[in-house]
Each structure stands twice: as structure tokens, then as C-alpha cells.
Structure 1
């Protein structure tokens, strides 16, 4: 208890202006229970939450993911819908449409896109059972980067997503699908399996909702479908393609649900 109080005093001294404006409770306040673990004051929990507030991120509450599902893709027609390059202004509409179809997906996010304006989308993804994936910090081709630059691209994105949503990601998609032995080794070091794709909707090139829906609907059981949640035309195509996949009796799963046990560094796709 004495150690916790000392750490508390140091933390408040370091960020006293923010602490006052955020009304961070003291150990003697009635809300002190928010920083208790097993009935004891936990200085580490208090410190991490204070640091989060000082950086502008949400305070104590982190999203809670639903329990894991027991899905056998050997028996069901499974398809993994994936969305790259977000979160962006359109991500909320994508989440709304997926929720209407009780569909789960995987979002491969750029670290620089996780901002004050989009962090709630990331938190919502977790609470609605979607999977979060690392797509680098700012979308360079990872092949040819120095070891340090490659590590920063992955680590910074890991860190910002964990800070915002409390999730440590286990899958990544290299920008442009460009990978080599160095990327594989760094992904392994960061605990990230590489996820490629089987169906490329080319929604980044052809901003045509009809084409995007048609290409997506050609998915076969076990396929991973590539889309981008940053394009309004993809948002427009999504209800149409889900209606068609519903008609074909597909089950929408995350990539981890589709593949099962994942090996960090290894590249996966259905083909």
C-alpha cells in the first residue's frame, strides 16, 4: 500500500495539470475502487490509465470482446471478409452493415489512421467480435526497408491499437502483399501471421459498387476477400454482396476463425 501511494504521488506530480482537469481519483476517494485489483490499489493500472488520458485516449474502460465462437469451417461454407487501410470516415457504415447481417470480419488497419476521430470505430470492432490486424503505420512497401524502419512500421501500429482498444494484434497484412524473408522474420518477432487474400475486389481501382459486389460474390468456401473500408463505393457495394453471400448460405468469419492455429511469420491464403 505504501509503495502504491508513493507511485501515485509521483504520477500526479508528473502530470498534475492533466490529473486535475481529468479528476483522477486519489487513493482515499470514493472512486478509488476503479484502480483496485483483487481489493488492493494497483499503481501500475493507475499509471497506465493516467498516461492514456494524458495522451488523449479513453480512460478506464476498454471494449470487451464477445466470447470465442465454436465454428467448424470444414462443415460450414466459411468466407473471411477483410478490409484494409482504415479506419476512416466510412468505417462506421461498414460496421453497421456487417451488424445487420450478423457478419464478422477482419480489419487490417494503418496505425496513422487510428486518431481521435476514428478510435471509437476500433473499439466498436472489438466489442462486436471483429478481428483487428496490423497493416503497417503508413502503408509503405515493407520489402527493402531497413530492419529498424520495418520494426517501427509494425510496432507503432501494434502499440497505438493496444493503447486505444486494449488488443494486441496477432495477424498482419503487408501493404501490396509485398513480403520477403526479412518481413517474415520481423512479423514472427512481433507475433504476427501474414494474411494474404484469394479474392481481390479491386475496389481501390474500380470505384464501381456493382463490380465490387460481383467480384466478392464469386468467393468460394475458405476464401479470404480483400476490400477497403475507406471507399464510399465499397460501403455502397457491401449490402449487395452480403445479400448474395447470404443467399449462398455463407458463414462470415474472421481470418483466425477461418484458419485456426496461426504461426507467426507464416503467410496464409486459401490457394
Structure 2
């Protein structure tokens, strides 16, 4: 905590050179909560903003997530739509379609895909209430990796997303669904629950929007649906599958909302 307040003092001092019309908040104000992640002061996020200010510009605004929703999936027909392997060129279109249907989803992202070109998309996910998930750095099978390599795959992705958004992810999906005791232990170390799926749309294999929409429309209450936000055919299918699920009166929730919370390391399918 001492490190955090030292950094806070430095930032406030740096702000003294700005125009007088920009009031600098005191440490006792509510502004210091902007540097908390999961209720804890995050010196890394704070430090990156301080460095940006010292370079002469304020840096990116960290997104603000909507307040948590009170959703009882024991009473509602809930479905958790999930998207793997992004963010990519199609992800913005996916977010547009989800927004049109007031739908929230979970995005399991590759760390190597979080770049200067996609950071704004990831921030948008947070601001629109979607859940961010860790899908490793480069999509290897995690089973069989050395402990050090396994840690790098998860930790680097945790770090790059946190630097972009201020969010420390709490769910992960092992590539190919491949996991074992070592993956479970490392996921637990990183504070990540393992999320599998119940309905695979096979959009990665069958680049056919009609098939993807048909398979997704067969979702049952409580299902976790697997899709990929990197395929144009999935984006094409999304309005149709959402129309079908709307007709069936589904509520679109994030994975933690569906499950009522998650435990690091634990493996989850349908509730």
C-alpha cells in the first residue's frame, strides 16, 4: 500500500503543472478508486498511467463496467454465448449485433491478439458489460507444456489485458478444451476458473452461417455455447441465431452470471 500512495503522490505532483481549470483530486477523494482492481489498489495500472502523464499525455481512459446485474438463472432461461480466439477484425461487428439484442457474452481472448489495433475493442467489451476471459497467449495445447511455459501462456495474457483495461480476468478456456491437473493448478494460481462448453457450433470447421445459426438455435437453458469471433460466417449467423433465441425468450448472460460465480482452478460445464 505504501508503494501505491507514493505513486499517487507523484501523479498529483505531476498534475500541478497543468492548467488551473483542471482540479487535481486529493488522495481522500473518490478518484483513487479508479486505480483499484477487484477492490485492491493496483500499482501496475497506476504506474502505467503515471508514465503516460510524464510523457506529456493523459493516456487511455480505463473503461468503466456497468454495475453487476441480479439475475437468477434458476428462474430465467439463461444462455451463455462465448467467443474464442479474438479480438480480431470481426469482433467489433459481433459487439454491434450483441448490443442490438441487449445481449452480454464472454470473450476468451488470445494475448497475442490484444494489440494497438484491438485494445479499444477490448475496452469496449468491458464498458458494455461483457466478461473477459483468458484463452492463453498463442493457442497451444496447455497439456504437456513445462510449468514455466504454462505460466507464461496464462500470465502474459492476464497482464496484457489488465494493462489495456484495468481488469484482471477470472475465467479461462484451455485451447482445444485440453486440460489436466497441472493446468488446473496453474489456473488456480492465476485466479482463473476453467470454462468448457455444452454446445459447440463447429463454426471453426463449418464456415456456413446457416449451419452455425441452426446449431446455436438448439441451445437449452443453462448451456454455454462455443463460437469464434474471428470468422465472418459467425458474424453473419449471429443476428439469425439471436432472433431465434429471442423468440424462445432466452436471457443472454456472461458465464459467471450463469454459474452464479466461479472458483479458480475449477472446471465448469453446464450448471
TM-score by length of 1: 0.86
Q: Structure 1's 168 and 229: CA in aligned 2 closer, same or farther, altered over 3 A?
A: same
String of CA shifts for 1:28-81, please: whole Å, max 9, x gaps: 433774575325998x676330335799x9815210000111100000000000
Residues 28 and 112 (structure 1 numbering): CA distance in 2 closer, same or farther, change over 3 Å?
same
In structure 2, do the counterparts of structure 1 residues 40 and 156 end up closer, same or farther at CA, with 3 Å as the change threshold? Answer: same
- The residue aligned with 2:117 is 117
User: Taking structure 1 as reference, are residues 60 and 205 closer, same or farther at Cα in structure 2, changes over 3 Å only?
Assistant: closer
- CA distance 1:190–1:239, shift in 2 (3 Å): same
Could you tell me the TM-score, scaled by structure 2's length? 0.86
> Where do 1:224-239 residues align within 5 Å?
224-239=224-239
**Compared with structure 1, are the counterparts of its residues 31 and 88 closer, same or farther at alpha carbon in structure 2 (3 Å cutoff)?**
farther
Q: CA deviation at 1:262?
A: 1.1
User: Per the alignment, do residues 25 and 51 of structure 1 end up closer, same or farther by CA in structure 2, a change over 3 Å counting?
Assistant: closer
The alignment partner of 2:140 has SS state of coil
Q: Deviation digits for residues 15-40 of structure 1, max 9, x if unmatched?
A: xxxxxxxxx95434337745753259
1:216 deviates by 0.5
User: Where does residue 27 of structure 1 map in the other structure?
Assistant: 16
Equivalent residues of 2:14, 2:54 under 8 A apart: no
Whether 2:182 is the aligned partner of 1:193: answer: no
Measured in 1, the distance between the counterparts of 2:46 and 2:74 equals: 45
Say yes or no: does 1:37 pair with 2:34: no
The number of aligned residues is: 254
